[in-house]
A and B are shown apart, each in its own frame.
Chain A
Amino acid sequence: MTLTATRTRWLQDNGVYVAVVALLLFNAVFTANFLTLGNFRTQLVQAAPVLIVALGMALVIGTEGVDLSVGAVMALAAAIIPLYLGAGPVPAVLMALVAGLVAGLFNGFLVAKVGIQPIVATLALLVGGRGLALVIANGQLVQLHDPAFLALGTGDVLGIPISVLIAVVLAVAVAALTNRTTFGRQLVAVGGNRRAAALAGLPVNRVLIGVYTICGVLAAVSGVLATSRLGAGDPADMGLLMELSAITAVVVGGTPLTGGKVRVLGTVTGVVLMQLVRATLIKHDLPDSIAQMIQAAIIVAAVYVARERR
């Protein structure tokens, strides 16, 4: 391999980590009150729901698919929580997760059995899921008062926010799933070469349905945490554009859209990077509109760097 090729390759694999370190250094020097525990805490709490969704998205993208319905699934969770909170926080959370599971099964069924392209199959639920959520919630924002449930989004364990802990545990679990289980390796093989995987006798349909189901459940978890933090069930706004944030984090983290590879640590770093970028811009009083354009530039840069990955 030539020196340039080696360097390009290195940048492809590690660019996102370099970017995060650079941004941290920049902020440490130029941003007032950046290196405070309070600030880190805020950043991580804000990033946790995106991360949980992005983990599921990374798995789906690893199979050469995409799940556009994650935001709608979060909205479904937000609509379902208030309905069952009367019976206690555990049944409410469980029902929300079941909704995510059913949504994921539906997506997986359309993709694997019916053979619809993932982008179209999940688009149906992107549109319909939020509609259903609004119908369930009667279009209303519902204030929540159950202290045990609200603790999920605001409480601490050993000084670490519960939502952040959950996100970390899930990231470790997804990494283990990807790298250490039969399912994970089959997932990557299906994404890398579906025909070869099928001819190797791999359970292609089961893998696909499983992946979309996991993604649906993770989106529901994210919806539960975000609802708890908000203190209200808000199906109209919950998870809006979340699919794009998640895809961005996954792509920036070095997981190719062409499938066959899942980078969990890269995805985590991708989420952190996008969060840091937004925080940096906000702290320097740049308007949201500028922040969006800069995010776009980062996505283009990430795709450009990854372009030679063959």
Chain B
Amino acid sequence: MPTDPVIEVAGVTKTFAGVRALDDVDFTLEKGEIHALVGENGAGKSTLIKVLTGIHTPDAGRVERHGRISTIYQEVNLVPLMSVAANLFLGREPRTRLGLIDRARRDADAAALLGGYGITADVRSPLGTLAVGEQQMVALARAVQAEADVVIMDEPTSSLEPREVETLLGVVAKLHEAGIAVIYVSHRMDELYRICDRVTVLRDGKRVHTGSLAELPRIELVSLMLGRSVTEIRKHGTTAFGEDHHADTEPVLEARDLTSTPRINGVTVSIRPGEVVGLAGLLGSGRTETAKAIIGALPLDRGTVLVAGKPVPRNVKAATRAGISMLAEDRKTEGIIPNLSVRENIVLAALPKLSRFGVTSRAKQDRIVDTFVKRLRIKVSSPEQKVSELSGGNQQKVLLARWLCTEPKILLLDEPTRGIDVGAKAEVQALIDELAREGLAVLLISSELDELLDGADRLVVLRDGAVAGELEGARLTREHVLAAIAAEVMDDADSH
């Protein structure tokens, strides 16, 4: 194969606080190719991009760049209050003879440039007034105008409407024609297969595959991303709570037709008491959004949530009162209150219950905190220790304790074992089993297929914000899940 690489990376390793984000990764970007970079959360994509663009210096390995790189992030990083034209030429404005900015020429150039991509927006209006898709197009146009040789696009279509996606893919095709190399990060199979030439798959910081995308079946790609199981097929139902046990009980949670365009579209999930329902799907398939919709933290276009047959008003407080609790995916920004102690973080949601006439009872708090610290084996020097000083696993247990002391009926767990060490992970998983056995209804979201297959009684598979299939019993296998995610029909899969 003739090679004319614009970026060459060999043996790159990068460690953050003892965690290997990149482990001996090789990556080559050929001139003019569109290269898909895929992997689940924490696989190392962002770190690799930051190494490529020079934001991070690798601990080991070699990085060679033979061109100018321009990165388009998920959130457009331009200046929303400045005009479209000003953004396009920021730092490279055409000048008049007096050295002042030549506004007329700038605006005319901008209009011509955008027109070439089929965008007809008023270049003098502030960028922030444009739709997200159009803003992204402006960012792209800016990259091209800056004569970049490489454009890195990090999930560019995750917040776009289908029509905007079309336009964006059109622009990418134009970049391709102009001989610009593109690194395209996305989880949307359809897009990847439409526009990308080659693919690199990262998993747990390692490169697990590089090759032509057309020669790689979808199901194989998904399998590479999620990791191969040691045991080929794992049948579920060996625990005391097989599916028969639940079949006759009424669901405690019914979420119907949850829709919030463009993130989720008509998702329906129900959970019976004592049941663990797994939510499978790739990143961006609407897993987190579904959980947020159930707890009332996501504005919905339509859809209802019923607890024990009664509709729940659409806000977090009402959902909490109805017995729904959610362990958020991002511990730092949506979970812990860093300034407060372990005790205060645990009792936070249950505080009204632990108070009389608004005055908190320290004795009651200490009792309940003590119970949960012991039961969840939270490692703290004292309950008064600041929660931010704990390890990730222990912080996660603190958050679990916060929810458990509200005595919920339904527990939504979004990536409960993300970023915690192996020991704590097993403990948290065992705890989930135990809680379900006690009659709690659990919705388990995880990027790790094995965790879902081991932990869930039933799996709801999401693809592009919609339910792509429901699996239980004998069909609760890796193959069926992968097939549902990759949108391929398997012999014994019935039509959903």
Contact = CB atoms under 8 A, between A and B. Distances in A.
Interface stretch (B194-202, B215-223, B352-360, B467-475): B352-360
B333 A182 contact: no
Interface in B353-376: 355, 358-360
Contact of B344 (A185, A195, A202): A185
Contacts of B38: none
Nearest to B402: A200
B331 to A, nearest CB: 9
Given A182-B355, A182-B360, A185-B351, A196 B340 contact: no
Contacts, number: 77
B16 to A, nearest CB: 18
B334 A195 contact: yes
Interface stretch (B247-255, B314-322, B477-485): B314-322
Contacts of B359: 180-182
Interface string B24-39: 0000000000000000
Contact of A192 (B319, B337, B351, B358): B337
B432 interface: no
B49 interface: no
Interface residues of A, number: 21
Nearest to A190: B337
Contact of B316 (A185, A186, A199): A199
A203 interface: yes
Contact of A193 (B321, B326, B338, B360): B338
A297 B338 CA distance: 30
B346 to A, nearest CB: 11
A200 B336 CA distance: 10
B348 A189 contact: yes
B337 A201 contact: no
Contacts of A200: 316, 320, 348-349, 402
Contacts of A253: none
B334 A196 contact: yes
Contacts of B319: 201
B264 interface: no
B339 interface: yes
B349 A193 contact: no
A202 B349 contact: yes
B358 A197 contact: no
A130 interface: no
B297 interface: yes
A215 B355 CA distance: 24
Contacts of A261: 339
Contacts of B334: 193, 195-196, 199
A199 B337 contact: no
A183 interface: yes
A198 interface: yes
Contacts of B351: 182, 185-186
A195 B333 contact: yes
Contacts of A199: 295, 297, 316, 326, 328, 334-335
A183 B349 CA distance: 12
A188 interface: yes
A181 B357 CA distance: 9
Nearest to B317: A201
B392 to A, nearest CB: 15
Interface in A229-287: 260-261
Contact of B321 (A196, A198, A201): A201
Given A181-B359, A185-B348, A186-B351, A198 B316 contact: yes
Contact of B320 (A186, A195, A196, A201): A201
B336 to A, nearest CB: 7
A290 to B, nearest CB: 37
Interface string A17-45: 00000000000000000000000000000
A192 B338 CA distance: 7
A186 B319 CA distance: 18
Contacts of B335: 193, 196, 199
B320 A193 contact: no
B336 A193 contact: yes
Nearest to A259: B339
Contacts of A202: 317, 348-349
Contacts of B320: 200-201
Contacts of A180: 359-360
Nearest to B321: A201
Nearest to A200: B349
Contacts of A197: 337, 348
A83 B355 CA distance: 42
Nearest to B361: A180
A243 to B, nearest CB: 24
Nearest to B331: A196
Given A199-B295, A201-B319, A182 B344 contact: no
Contacts of A260: 337-340
B333 to A, nearest CB: 6
A24 to B, nearest CB: 31
Interface in A138-195: 180-183, 185-186, 188-189, 192-193, 195
A181 B297 CA distance: 26
Nearest to B297: A199
B337 A193 contact: yes
Contacts of A189: 337, 340, 344, 348
A174 B316 CA distance: 29
A118 to B, nearest CB: 19
A196 B352 contact: no
19 contacts: A183-B358, A185-B348, A185-B360, A193-B334, A196-B335, A196-B336, A196-B337, A197-B337, A198-B297, A199-B328, A199-B335, A200-B348, A201-B319, A201-B320, A201-B321, A201-B349, A260-B337, A260-B339, A260-B340
Given A181-B358, A185-B348, A188-B344, 7 more contacts: A185-B360, A192-B340, A193-B333, A193-B338, A199-B316, A199-B334, A200-B348
Top 3 nearest A-B pairs (CB, nearest first) are: A201-B320, A260-B339, A192-B337
